[in-house]
Amino acid sequence: MTAALQTFIESRAIEDIDAMAGATAPCLKAEYVQLEAKRFTGRWTNVQLPQMVLQKGREDIAIVRRLRAAPETWAFIVPLHVSDAARWDGRRVTADELIVCAPGGESYAFDPAGTEFAIVSVGGDHPVAAAASRLLEAGETSCAIRQRARDAESMRRTLISVLECDERVDRTLHVFEQRVGAEKQIAVESRLAGSVRSRRIREAAGGRRQIVGRAEAFFRHHMGESVTISRLSAVVGVSERSLRNAFCDVYTTSPKKYLRLWQLHEVRRALRSASCGGQTVTDVATFHGFFELGRFAGEYKALFGEPPSQTLQRARLESATRPYA
């Protein structure tokens, strides 16, 4: 049996929100923002099957996340354990739903603490992808469908059985025989094929997600500027009230608070990057739109548990001790 024919399962505990995004398989691009000022913990599991990738995520604090399917990849997001407070694409999630993302499609979510979900990814030439494409209307890249309760429960049981592994050991890696992996894939395919024949959910949540997406896109290109809510709403083409309602529905927080948290995460990523070079904390903070440095440092420490100077110092130490390739 060659390495190319092996299937594997890997699971690891994660204690950093950026590491959570980095654990996602290449078929998906993820971005996370934590909403609570407390230590992040979670777990991510990857299962590589012959023609399918299964992933499972769990976060132990409240977060918002964006998932984008890679080109030629169809993603099916399945709730395993969600509370009534959970939101996917601006709408409440129930246990019998499934989110379909076409290649390049995005899903926006608010995950309360303890949320657990699975993602099934297949290539564009997979039979399930062809069936799912018929659910989407012209110009759409994602939608939600509602399964029968017994089909949804069967889907969850099947995914959990495949994704099970010894979670007591970090980075546990199990390699399956190709035959076993194929059997597991057939079981998931069977459940998924039934799911994509279910009833599509029709509602107006997509409009709220589009408002959030347009606002974020503008803000990300002007993050060093002082962007007011009035300016943001004018650019997006909605009232300030509509903008606030959209963020509340999609991310369960105000646009001002969410964008502030996103900025703090961007500063942290920049401070931890080797490309930061000779820049100071002040350089990085002001570049990202923080000009009240005392307030910035306090917010940063409250969210991440350390001052920004410590983040930068650790990054430089790790860079200095990292062996050259």
Sign, CA dihedral 47-52-53-55, equals: negative
Q: Which of the four pLDDT bands, split at 50, 70 and 90, describes residue 177?
A: low
Predicted local confidence at residue 203, as pLDDT: 62
Q: Which of the four pLDDT bands, split at 50, 70 and 90, describes residue 5?
A: very low
Percentage with pLDDT > 90 across the chain = 61
Residues 56-112: pLDDT tens digits?
A: 999 999 999 999 999 999 999 999 999 999 999 888 888 899 999 999 999 999 999
> Does domain 3-202 fall into CATH 2.60.40?
no
Residue 225 has, within 13 A of its CA and on its CB side, a CA count of: 10
- Is the pLDDT at 165 greater than 70? The verdict is no
> Which tokens sit at 138?
């012209």
Local structure of 211: helix, strand or coil: helix
Contact (CB, 8 A) for 302 and 261: no
Which contiguous run of DSSP H or E holds residue 111?
Answer: strand 106-111
> Does domain 256-325 fall into CATH 3.30.750.200?
no
- Is the pLDDT at 168 greater than 90? The verdict is no
DSSP string, 136-162: PPTT--EEEEE--HHHHHHHHHHHHHH
The amino acid sitting at 149 is A
| CATH fold match for the domains 3-202 and 256-325 | no
- Is the pLDDT at 320 greater than 80? The verdict is no
Nearest by Cα to 308 from 250, 277, 269: 269
Nearest by Cα to 230 from 246, 221, 243: 243
Cα–Cα dist 186/23, whole Å:
25
Q: Which of the four pLDDT bands, split at 50, 70 and 90, describes residue 9?
A: confident
Q: Which of the four pLDDT bands, split at 50, 70 and 90, describes residue 164?
A: confident
DSSP letter at 83?
A: -
Q: Where are the domains of the chain?
A: 3-202, 204-252, 256-325
Residues 235-292: pLDDT tens digits?
A: 999 999 999 999 999 999 999 999 999 999 999 999 998 656 688 999 999 999 999 9
Contact (CB, 8 A) for 119 and 98: no
| Mean pLDDT to the nearest integer, 291-296 | 94
Place of tokens 């999630």: 93
Cα–Cα dist 244/242, whole Å:
5
> Which tokens sit at 61?
């604090």
Contact (CB, 8 A) for 198 and 94: no
Place of tokens 């739903």: 97
| Percent of the chain as helix, strand, coil, to the nearest 5 | 45, 25, 30
Partners of 136 in the beta sheet?
A: none
- Is the pLDDT at 294 greater than 50? The verdict is yes
Cβ-proximal residues to 289 (8 Å cutoff; 6+ apart), any chain: 223, 224, 225, 226, 227, 263
Predicted local confidence at residue 4, as pLDDT: 43
Percentage with pLDDT > 70 across the chain = 89
Predicted local confidence at residue 75, as pLDDT: 96
